């Protein structure tokens, strides 16, 4: 009977850890990033141009254009989207702009919050995995002890 209870508790523990794992990974990601909002005035497109390059003050998180969370424009017909990003010059191409207009773009993006601390971002990123392995070891060890006591 104790073996069945041990297996049920083990299954419950695995299900519980998979339910809370997104909280751990989201928390680790939130520790790794800071959100920045930057306004770029007088961004102009010429005739036949629907994109413009803007130079950001900070580097995008992991040098990825997907770190841009939103772009808004003062021109209502614009549908601004982050295009390519050149890390060497911190230049972001913004596409989806209306031709022959001047606008202010507000760019919200994530930067590396742990850049100043060597390897800290690496350790924070692996923390949820270490927690997961620790919980699995605890569950496995508990079940092993339960079966061992029966023998």
Kindly report, residue by residue over 41-52, the tens digit of the pLDDT: 999 999 999 999
Beta-bridge mates of residue 44: 102
Edge-first strand listing for the sheet containing 51-55: 51-55, 91-95, 81-86
Q: Check: CB of residue 103 under 8 Å from CB of residue 71.
A: no
- Assessment of whether the complete model's pTM goes beyond 0.85: no
Q: Check: CB of residue 83 under 8 Å from CB of residue 17.
A: no
More confident residue, 65 or 146: 65
* pLDDT tens column, 7-55: 787 788 778 878 888 888 888 888 888 999 999 999 999 999 999 999 9
Instruction: Name residues whose C-beta falls within 8 Å of residue 141's C-beta, 6 or more positions apart in sequence.
Output: none
Q: Above 80 in pLDDT, residue 143?
A: no
Token pair recorded at residue 48: 């036949």
> Domains in the chain: how many in total?
1
Eight-class DSSP state of 65: G
Segments forming the whole domain that contains residue 41: 2-150
Nearest of 34, 33, 60 to residue 121 by alpha carbon: 33
């Amino acid at each position: 009977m104790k073996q069945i209870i041990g297996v049920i508790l083990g299954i419950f523990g695995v299900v519980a850890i998979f339910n809370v794992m997104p909280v751990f990974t989201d928390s680790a990601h939130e520790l790794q990033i800071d959100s920045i909002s930057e306004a770029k005035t007088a961004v102009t497109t010429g005739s036949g141009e629907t994109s413009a390059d803007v130079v950001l003050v900070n580097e995008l998180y992991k040098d990825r254009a997907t770190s841009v969370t939103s772009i808004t424009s003062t021109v209502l017909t614009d549908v601004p989207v982050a295009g390519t990003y050149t890390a060497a010059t911190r230049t972001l191409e913004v596409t989806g702009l209306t031709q022959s207009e001047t606008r202010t773009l507000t760019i919200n993006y994530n930067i590396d919050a742990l850049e100043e601390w060597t390897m800290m971002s690496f350790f924070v990123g692996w923390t949820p995995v270490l927690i997961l392995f620790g919980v699995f070891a605890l569950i496995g060890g508990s079940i092993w002890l339960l079966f061992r006591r029966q023998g």
